[in-house]
Structure 1
Amino acid sequence: MSQLTAIITGASEGLGKSFAIELASRNINLVLVALPSSGLPELASFIRKNFAIDVNYLEADLTCTESYPEIFNYLQKQQITAHLLINNAGLGNWSWFEEKSICFYKTQIELNVITPVLLTRLFLAQTDVAITSYILNVGSLGGLFVVPKKQVYGATKSFIRYFTRCLQLELHGSNVKLSLLSPGGINTKPELLVMNNTLKGISKATILEPEQVARIAIDGLLKGKKEIIPGMVNKLLVLLNSLLPDYVKDSIIKRRLNTILES
């Protein structure tokens, strides 16, 4: 069988970078996609030197509609068929709704919602039906829980959850495996590491390193798991969420909101 090739969006840092290194360690060729001037050429060079795989990269702004077909036109010209798509690119925030501009929210919705939908559509159009293909949509537990100061971000991740669930039903019986990754907090950036280090108890236990999440996610993806929730504490929280009545969850959220207001 020919060597597999994976497309990773948002590949230059954080979880995307960890996905790239994890897949390279499994002898899977890479097509890395990220913004210009985000360190993508340096990452591609590092992976080529340390792993015996092919690495292509494209610097693109995925909020621009023309970027989507450009990726697959490039693959066609290079005679590359992609077998894995990691929809990782996204924009988060931790702020009150009125603190961010309408331009910020427009970009967030485009990147978190429109980009994975359209890339998935183009990816499916070029798959080889004789070979199993894989799609990993990076969601968040923020798409399942109501979290103050993550109002639009959480809504975009709720969309990804619904979109993935529906598409899983449509693709049932096909040679395409689609998984939803639902992580808790991840130490992807220095500012997040500082903030997460202030957490205590269960909140701190939900935080994982990007390398851990990438390994668990790729294991689950290749096994065909429908939803991948890294970390035992996060799995427990999802279970409790399904058992607790809405009024109890609302009470917990209101107490959490009061804590934030007082801080």
Structure 2
Amino acid sequence: MQQLTAIITGASEGLGKSFAIELAKRNINLLLIALPGSGLADLTSYIRKNFNVRADHLEMDLTCTESYPMIFGYMKKRNMTAHLLINNAGLGNWSWFEDKGIGFYKTQIELNVITPVLLTRLFLEQADSAVTSYILNVGSLGGLFVVPKKQVYGATKSFIRYFTKCLQMELSGSNVRISLLSPGGINTKPELLVLNNTLKGISKATILEAEDVARIAIDGLLKGKKEIVPGALNKLMVLLNSILPGFVKDMIVKGQLKTILKS
């Protein structure tokens, strides 16, 4: 059986790192992508030493359009074909809209929207039609719910939701499986861990560990699930969102906003 190869963006830490280790455990070769100076070389070395897979890495800024062809050019020179694409790289924030400059939002939109779209296009161009290929787009429940202080981030994840669902229809009947991962909060960085530990009640109960989300996501991807929502409580929230009237959801969001303003 042919050994598969996966491209993972934003692979140096957090969920991306957990994806890399999870796929290595499943005997899948890796091409890891992240910013220069992010510790990607150390992760690649660790995977090579501890798992029976090939692991390569490229350090680049994915907001630069010329970076995308470089990834597939690198693979072509080495006679490699990508069978999985994990569009994980992204930039989040928790701030009022006016607290960030236009440079931040430009970068956020480029990384969260333009990068997965163009990488997906190039991935499909080189995919082997005789082998099942997989695309995992990392969205967020923030793309489904209105969340104060995540205005642009949530909008980019709404885009990813729409983009993924359209592609699922276009690619139906082909040998390409595309899944949308819609997680709630994830403990991915020390600062997020501190923030998440201050949460209470339902908000805290929705937080999951990165390695658990990665395992659930890859299981769902390989099974061909169209949308993967890790965590029973998060699944319940998605269900409630589909049945609650709009005015009730608006009341809930306004209540959250009042709590944020007081804090």
Superposition TM-score, scaled by structure 2 size: 1.00
Match of residue 83 from structure 2: 83
Sequence identity (%): 81
- Distance in 2 (alpha carbons) for counterparts of 1:222 and 1:8: 15
Matched, 1:94 2:91: no
- Shift of residue 76, structure 1, vs aligned partner: 0.2
1:198 maps to a residue whose letter is T
Q: Deviations over 1:209-247 (max 9, x none)?
A: 000000000000000000000000000000000010000
Match of residue 58 from structure 2: 58
- Distance in 2 (alpha carbons) for counterparts of 1:218 and 1:172: 20
Matched, 1:15 2:15: yes
RMSD value, Cα: 0.3
Match of residue 219 from structure 1: 219
Match of residue 244 from structure 2: 244
- Distance in 1 (alpha carbons) for counterparts of 2:40 and 2:200: 35
Match of residue 70 from structure 1: 70
- Shift of residue 200, structure 1, vs aligned partner: 1.1
Give structure 1 stretches of 5+ with no counterpart. none
- Shift of residue 201, structure 1, vs aligned partner: 1.1
2:62 maps to a residue whose letter is L
Q: Secondary structure at the match of 1:49?
A: helix
Superposition TM-score, scaled by structure 1 size: 1.00
- Distance in 1 (alpha carbons) for counterparts of 2:66 and 2:173: 32
Q: Secondary structure at the match of 1:95?
A: coil
- Distance in 2 (alpha carbons) for counterparts of 1:170 and 1:241: 26
- Distance in 2 (alpha carbons) for counterparts of 1:219 and 1:97: 36
Taking the TM superposition and a 5 Å limit, the aligned residue runs for 1:110-149 are 110-149=110-149
Give structure 2 stretches of 5+ with no counterpart. none
Taking the TM superposition and a 5 Å limit, the aligned residue runs for 1:170-181 are 170-181=170-181
- Shift of residue 117, structure 1, vs aligned partner: 0.1
- Distance in 2 (alpha carbons) for counterparts of 1:194 and 1:231: 21
- Distance in 1 (alpha carbons) for counterparts of 2:101 and 2:253: 25
Match of residue 262 from structure 1: 262
* Structure 1 runs of 4+ with >6 Å offset: none
Taking the TM superposition and a 5 Å limit, the aligned residue runs for 1:144-163 are 144-163=144-163
2:59 maps to a residue whose letter is E
Q: Deviations over 1:104-126 (max 9, x none)?
A: 00000000000000000000000
Match of residue 209 from structure 1: 209
- Distance in 1 (alpha carbons) for counterparts of 2:191 and 2:37: 20
1:159 maps to a residue whose letter is F
- Shift of residue 2, structure 1, vs aligned partner: 1.3
- Distance in 1 (alpha carbons) for counterparts of 2:129 and 2:71: 20
- Distance in 2 (alpha carbons) for counterparts of 1:151 and 1:78: 42
- Shift of residue 33, structure 1, vs aligned partner: 0.3
